[in-house]
Chain A
Amino acid sequence: MSLDWLFIGTILVVGAGMAALPIALNMIIGPRKPNKIKSETYECGIETVGEAWVQIKGQYYIFGLIFLIFDIEAVFMFPWAVAYDRLQFYMVLEGVLFILILAGGLVYAWRKGALEWV
């Protein structure tokens, strides 16, 4: 394990600590007098109606999935981009083909109306 990652680990802990410290301080010196009316959840000027848990649409899942696909694409394409200068022309075309196939998937989603906001 290299020191570089130690640095990253430390800064992540520092980041969390920097947010946790004021909140912890607040727990000590801040007032804490909860009552039933105060801790009710907000809803436009009326008492909360029904459960807060609303079921989402499949739409969101599709956006998540497209993101996942392009995220995986990044894992393949970033090493390719690192090696770009030393690639031959046909190798570059293969990388472009990879993206082109994904673009085809995007076009399909578009034509099917999966990219519309509903």
Chain B
Amino acid sequence: MSDPFTTIDQFIKNLLIGLGLEAEVTEVALNIVGAVVLGLLVGATAIILIWAERKLVARIQDRLGPNRVGPYGILQTIADGLKLVTKEVLIPQGADRYVFIMAPLIVVTGVIGIWAVMPLAPGLIGSDINVGLLYVIAVGAIGTLGIMMAGMSSNNKYALLGAFRTVAQMLSYTVPMILALLIPVMLAGSMGMSTIVEAQGSAWFIVLAPLAAIIFFISSIAEVGRAPFDLLEAESEIVAGFHIEYSGIAFGMFFVGEFIHAFTIAALFSVIFLGGWQGPAVESFPLLGLFYFILKTWFMYFVVIWVRSTLPRIRIDQINAFNWKFMTPLALVVFMVTAILDKLAVEAGFNRAAVLLAANAIIVLGTLFLLRAYATSQRRRLEVTERPQVQRSEAASD
């Protein structure tokens, strides 16, 4: 099979060895160069991401969006970046200086680190470790730490409250996410990201496990802290949340981190559930794989923006209840049903996809029925008590 990436890799390797480098040194150097290039590419994507999102949100809200700097305002992000770099970064009094500056670095690092295991095309993956998915969970959660550091070091109540909410929200939503991710690992028989993509040759996992896909998508939006889950920075309640005291480029880095993170979950979704680089004719032209991957990722990124600009922000207690009383039980049920039925289906010789789809459909119907019953009972309760219940006063620590 003519694989352009392996060919290029071999070509550069042979070239360097021909120039008198040792084979081992060449391997090490190529890995380092590859990582630097990938990291910079992902970072540079942020420039396009921010522009695209602003433009798209503007269109959805019937505005024009950035349109002054460059054609269609495409250079707006660069102008903004230059401006932010030349602005003063205020460090508030009583702040923990080093922790304060470190926090945005950790947020960005955690996000870019995920791209190391992202399979971009057949044979093109930074590091094909066999624990890829667990690595994604582990590194992706490091951002929580950065946000905690930002909140703790700012010497500001709102920042601290924002950080607390982060802990409650990001940690909570990781629970259904882990449960949902167990299912693709089960289906693929591996945690390696490229193996997961290869296993989707016949059927994408979104067909085999649609509910797991939806749970993963919702919980990862919550993980990024995007609307409707942007309680970490609810302006009307805690001003700007954890980054209230950040200014200039230090604030900009949180912004960049958030945008790349949103793009990263789009990429993860397309790799884990939409078949990554799988697509027609990818065997004969591996370069098409890269195109499919980028196409799927941008489509998912569009969905993320779409969700963001459509849904209103929900309250913190609703977010909490939604996770613990809806998402987590649902994820538990989906996991258990999938594990048992898939095994039974394979042993009895049934069609795997048909059984799993039917199981998912039944779970959806059951969930809708339960939700309906719950809503009815709630409505009846409200009708019996004439006035709405007295609202509890917000506690001091929120």
Name A's B-contacting residues (CB within 8 A).
3-8, 10-12, 14-16, 18-20, 22-23, 25-27, 29-34, 36, 38-44, 48, 52-57, 59-60, 63-64, 66-67, 70-71, 73-75, 77-78, 81-85, 87, 89, 92-93, 95-96, 99-100, 103, 106, 110, 115-118
Chain B residues whose CB sits within 8 angstroms of the CB of A110 once the complex forms: 324-325
B332-351 interface with A by 8 A CB criterion: 332, 335-336, 339-340, 342-344, 347
Chain A residues whose CB sits within 8 angstroms of the CB of B329 once the complex forms: 103, 106
Question: CA–CA, A52 to B347, complex, Å?
Answer: 61
- A30's partner among B88, B108, B185 (CB-CB below 8 A) is B88
User: Closest CB of chain B to A38's CB: distance in Å?
Assistant: 6
Taking a contact as CB atoms under 8 Å apart, the answer to whether B316 and A117 are in contact is: yes
For residue B271, CB closer than 8 A to chain A, the reply is no
Chain B residues whose CB sits within 8 angstroms of the CB of A52 once the complex forms: 94, 154-157, 159-160
For residue B140, CB closer than 8 A to chain A, the reply is no
For residue B134, CB closer than 8 A to chain A, the reply is yes
Taking a contact as CB atoms under 8 Å apart, the answer to whether A115 and B320 are in contact is: yes
Question: CA–CA, A7 to B127, complex, Å?
Answer: 6
Which residue of chain B has the shortest Cβ distance to A86 in the bound complex?
B189
Which residue of chain A has the shortest Cβ distance to B158 in the bound complex?
A42
- Summarize B's interface: helix, strand, loop or mixed: helix
Question: CA–CA, A69 to B117, complex, Å?
Answer: 26
Q: Which of A11, A81, A110 has the most CB of B within 10 A?
A: A11
Taking a contact as CB atoms under 8 Å apart, the answer to whether A117 and B336 are in contact is: no
Chain B residues whose CB sits within 8 angstroms of the CB of A73 once the complex forms: 178
Question: CA–CA, A27 to B85, complex, Å?
Answer: 9
- A39's partner among B43, B91, B244, B336 (CB-CB below 8 A) is B91
Chain B residues whose CB sits within 8 angstroms of the CB of A115 once the complex forms: 320-321, 324-325
- A8's partner among B108, B113, B191, B320 (CB-CB below 8 A) is B113
Question: CA–CA, A26 to B168, complex, Å?
Answer: 33
Question: CA–CA, A115 to B325, complex, Å?
Answer: 8
For residue B386, CB closer than 8 A to chain A, the reply is no
- Summarize A's interface: helix, strand, loop or mixed: helix
Which residue of chain B has the shortest Cβ distance to A43 in the bound complex?
B157
For residue B81, CB closer than 8 A to chain A, the reply is yes
Q: Provided the pairs A15-B39, A54-B157, A89-B343 are in contact, do residues A6 and B191 lie with their beta carbons within 8 angstroms?
A: no
Taking a contact as CB atoms under 8 Å apart, the answer to whether B104 and A41 are in contact is: no
Taking a contact as CB atoms under 8 Å apart, the answer to whether A4 and B250 are in contact is: no
Q: What 0/1 pattern do residues 106 to 147 of B give for CB contact below 8 A with A?
A: 111111110111000000001111010111010000000000
Interface size on B, residues (CB 8 A): 101
Extra inter-chain contacts (5) besides given A10-B36, A34-B90, A73-B178, CB under 8 Å: A18-B108, A19-B253, A59-B168, A116-B317, A116-B320
User: Closest CB of chain A to B163's CB: distance in Å?
Assistant: 10
Q: Provided the pairs A52-B157, A53-B160 are in contact, do residues A23 and B104 lie with their beta carbons within 8 angstroms?
A: yes
User: Closest CB of chain A to B397's CB: distance in Å?
Assistant: 5
User: Closest CB of chain B to A96's CB: distance in Å?
Assistant: 5
Q: Which of A3, A18, A74 has the most CB of B within 10 A?
A: A18
Q: What 0/1 pattern do residues 184 to 195 of B give for CB contact below 8 A with A?
A: 011001110000
Taking a contact as CB atoms under 8 Å apart, the answer to whether A55 and B397 are in contact is: yes
Chain A residues whose CB sits within 8 angstroms of the CB of B335 once the complex forms: 99
Chain A residues whose CB sits within 8 angstroms of the CB of B324 once the complex forms: 106, 110, 115
Chain B residues whose CB sits within 8 angstroms of the CB of A67 once the complex forms: 171-172, 174-175
Question: CA–CA, A77 to B110, complex, Å?
Answer: 24
Chain A residues whose CB sits within 8 angstroms of the CB of B234 once the complex forms: none
Question: CA–CA, A4 to B245, complex, Å?
Answer: 38
Taking a contact as CB atoms under 8 Å apart, the answer to whether B344 and A84 are in contact is: no
For residue B38, CB closer than 8 A to chain A, the reply is yes
Of all A-B residue pairs in the complex, the 10 with the closest CB atoms, nearest first, are A14-B39, A15-B112, A10-B35, A117-B317, A19-B108, A4-B127, A67-B171, A15-B109, A81-B185, A7-B127
Question: CA–CA, A5 to B111, complex, Å?
Answer: 17
Chain B residues whose CB sits within 8 angstroms of the CB of A22 once the complex forms: 81, 84-85, 249, 252-253
User: Closest CB of chain A to B31's CB: distance in Å?
Assistant: 5
Question: CA–CA, A10 to B90, complex, Å?
Answer: 30
Chain B residues whose CB sits within 8 angstroms of the CB of A89 once the complex forms: 343-344, 347
Chain A residues whose CB sits within 8 angstroms of the CB of B137 once the complex forms: 74
Taking a contact as CB atoms under 8 Å apart, the answer to whether A74 and B160 are in contact is: no
Question: CA–CA, A83 to B105, complex, Å?
Answer: 37
Question: CA–CA, A3 to B157, complex, Å?
Answer: 45
Chain B residues whose CB sits within 8 angstroms of the CB of A33 once the complex forms: 88
Which residue of chain B has the shortest Cβ distance to A20 in the bound complex?
B105
Taking a contact as CB atoms under 8 Å apart, the answer to whether A26 and B109 are in contact is: no
- B105's partner among A8, A16, A36 (CB-CB below 8 A) is A16
Question: CA–CA, A44 to B88, complex, Å?
Answer: 22
